Structure 1
Amino acid sequence: MNAGVQNLVISLGAMQIARKIPFDDPDVLIYVRIAYVLSQVIALGIYYYVSLIIKKKNDQTVLKYVEPGSPMSGDPKGELVTTTVRDYDLSETSKLLRSAYMGIAMMGVMHFYFHFTQPLFVQSLMGLKNIYDAKPVAIHLLGKPAVGDLQRPFKAAGMFGAAAGPQTDAAAIAEAEKKIGKKEE
């Protein structure tokens, strides 16, 4: 099953369970807060640990791909990106960290300002699910080979199947290199 669909199913199921939890009880609320904080600390800790593993491996294999162009820019071809596996994995891990920090900030506003309690329960489960779905975690922590869905550059999975992302075929890279050569002349 697609990760986006899994997230939707887990969220809906967790919301149904959360409706039965008595959040009015201060003891229950404390335990849910502890579970949320613990899941976020685990997520942040794992992401930092993965970044340390990436730095320790120091894989300097060159990675070339064509980043898809923005539909708003009018340039559908995209631009050539040349990086190393180490730098690519570190940038992906930093995106995961940013996403976790953004989720914590949004949850802080929702819980402390708007006094919503159900999302704490749902996000404590989703934080752990996001760790499992993170591709750098799968490669560097779980030891899965970087083939198929885990092949770099990672493709963003669409909600209903089709994955979109950078192009790695030789023709697209050669065309992007020609475009760069024309700009320099």
Structure 2
Amino acid sequence: MNPVITNLGVMLVMMQVSRRLDMEDEFTVKCIRIAYVVSNLIIFGLYMYTRTIINKKRDLTTLKYMEQPSAFAADSEGKLITTTVHQYDLDQVNAAMKSALQGVGMMAFMHLYMKYTNPLIMQSIMPLKSAVEQKIVQIHLFNKPSTGDLKRPFKAPSMFGDLAGGAATDKKTVEAAETAGKGGIKEE
């Protein structure tokens, strides 16, 4: 099912649930906090287990692609990236963990400093759903083949849809970048 539609459905349901809860009751707030912490522990456990699986597989197949420049970058040319599938997958898991940590930091600020409790309800479900839907988790934890949408390098989701493009992996583009003297960034 489309993640956007399921996210919308989950948000609507969780908004209705949060309206029915008494946010003034200390026991209710404590239960919401516990649910949020448990959810984040599950998320980090999921990412750590995925990292363990990646390290066990240790796929050293070479992966070359042209990284598309940021829309806000001054230079209009992408960089040639040469790495291994193992390193690429580890980088993807690390980026997902960093994103999850930033979410925890933001929620800590909103809940502890600004005294908002309602977002904790939503954030105990949505990041968990997002973690299970991560492409790297789908490949390694659920053993889905890395073809189609799960083909490396992953297309970055864009608010502009397919207009933003993604990493170029076709042989012609990669060879052109190699022969143009662009060099490449070799990640190990």
Q: TM-score, normalised by structure 2?
A: 0.88
Contact 1:36–1:120 at 8 Å: present in 2 too?
Answer: yes
- Following superposition, the deviation at residue 155 of structure 1 comes to 0.4
Mark the runs of 5 or more structure 1 residues left unpaired by the alignment: none
Corresponding residue of 1:77: 77
Alpha-carbon separation, structure 1, partners of 2:145 and 2:76: 32
List per-residue Cα deviations over 1:75-117 (Å, max 9, x = no partner).
3330100000000000000001001111111111100100100
> SS of 1:156's equivalent?
coil
The answer on 1:122 being equivalent to 2:122 is yes
Give the root-mean-square deviation of aligned CA atoms.
2.1
Corresponding residue of 2:174: 173
The answer on 1:152 being equivalent to 2:152 is yes
Corresponding residue of 1:93: 93
Alpha-carbon separation, structure 2, partners of 1:98 and 1:182: 29
List per-residue Cα deviations over 1:98-146 (Å, max 9, x = no partner).
0111111111110010010001000001121112211111011011110
Mark the runs of 5 or more structure 2 residues left unpaired by the alignment: none
- Following superposition, the deviation at residue 56 of structure 1 comes to 1.0
Alpha-carbon separation, structure 2, partners of 1:28 and 1:91: 38
Corresponding residue of 1:33: 33
Identity of aligned residues (%): 44
**CA spacing shift, 1:17–1:159, aligned 2, 3 Å:** farther
Alpha-carbon separation, structure 2, partners of 1:78 and 1:12: 40
Alpha-carbon separation, structure 1, partners of 2:180 and 2:90: 28
Contact 1:2–1:160 at 8 Å: present in 2 too?
Answer: no
- Following superposition, the deviation at residue 164 of structure 1 comes to 3.3
**CA spacing shift, 1:51–1:182, aligned 2, 3 Å:** closer
Name the count of aligned residue pairs.
183
- Following superposition, the deviation at residue 17 of structure 1 comes to 2.5
Alpha-carbon separation, structure 2, partners of 1:182 and 1:123: 42
- Following superposition, the deviation at residue 8 of structure 1 comes to 4.2
Contact 1:5–1:159 at 8 Å: present in 2 too?
Answer: no
- Following superposition, the deviation at residue 2 of structure 1 comes to 4.3
